[in-house]
Structures are given as structure tokens and as C-alpha cells.
Amino acid sequence: MILFCDTSALVKLYIAEDASDTVRRAADQAEAVAVSRLAWVEMHAAVARRGRESPQDQPALDVVKRQFAMDWKQFVVLEVNQMLVELASEYADAFSLRAYDAVQLASAVRLRDQANTGLRFACFDRRLNQAAGLLGMEVLNA
């Protein structure tokens, strides 16, 4: 089983939040953890936002950024190309998704369709999870 993490789930691997334990267990049980190339910038943006909101946490957040950079090579990273963004645009329209959410979903669907094993979609956005479910994907339940 491959665990595809959108950024909301990826953050939970590095920062203790509600459902972090669920995501960590799923990642530990997975054959691989997959992410979209966009997760790099989204993760850094999320960590930077946390730092602005809680400046006292900045030293710990610096550690998170370093650990994430070291772990990046361990992830299956899905590239964004024209075919993928065209699929994502269909999903954005069909499911009323934000642009990056649609790219995350399209990346997971493309991987699911190409993988020789099952795929579980980890996300903490209600609309995105609903879309994934409608597309027949197994969604990680927190």
C-alpha cells in the first residue's frame, strides 16, 4: 500500500496536531509515502505561517524544515506536467477545488492508476476527501 499525503497530512508527520498519530501509523505501515512536487513549497509555506503565528516555536520549526529536507529524498515525488494540470483543471471544475488541491488529487489519481499496489489518500480537507472518495480512492480516516 502506498500512502499519498497531501500537505495537510504531510505536516502531521512533522508537527504534532490532531490525527498526527494516525498519519504516522499509516506512513509506518505503507510501502512508500508519495507526495506531489508542490508539497515542497506548500510545506514550507505552512511552517512559515506557523512561525509567524507562534514566534516562540521558531527553533522547533527550523528543525522541522531541516528534517523535512533530509526526508524529501525518501518520498515518491510526483512531477507536475501538462497532462497532470489538465486533469487537475477538470477536478477543480467538477469538485469546486482550489488549484493546488486539484493538483494534489490529480497526482494521487495518476499514481493510483499506475501503481501495482493499493493507494490510500491522506488529507484533512473535507472537500478534497469527498472528491477522492467519489473517484474511488481509499481515504485515510482520522
Question: CA-CA distance, 86 to 61, in Å (whole number)?
Answer: 35
pLDDT in tens, 54-99: 999 999 999 999 999 999 999 999 999 999 999 999 999 999 999 9
Predicted TM-score (pTM) of this structure? 0.95
Does the pLDDT at position 110 exceed 80? yes
Asked whether the predicted pLDDT for residue 130 surpasses 80, the reply is: yes
pLDDT at 2: 98
Mean pLDDT on 35-56? 97
**Which residues are CB-contacts of 116 (< 8 A; sequence separation ≥ 6)?**
none
Q: Which of 111, 121, 109 is nearest to 3 (CA)?
A: 121
- pLDDT for residue 142 is more than 80: no
- Average of per-residue pLDDT across 107-134: 96
* Count of domains forming the chain: 1
Residue 80 DSSP class: P
Supply the mean pLDDT for the chain: 96
Q: At a CB cut-off of 8 Å and minimum separation 6, what does 120 contact?
A: 1, 2, 3, 4, 26, 30, 137, 138, 139, 140
Provide the CATH number for the domain around residue 52: 3.40.50.1010
Q: What is the pLDDT of residue 141?
A: 81
Q: Which domain holds residue 119?
A: 2-139
What's residue 32's pLDDT?
97
Return left, alpha or beta for 133; rule: phi > 0 is left, psi -120 to 50 is alpha, else beta: alpha
- Please report the pLDDT score of residue 15 as a whole number: 96
Among residues 104, 101, 112, the alpha carbon closest in space to that of 136 is found at 112
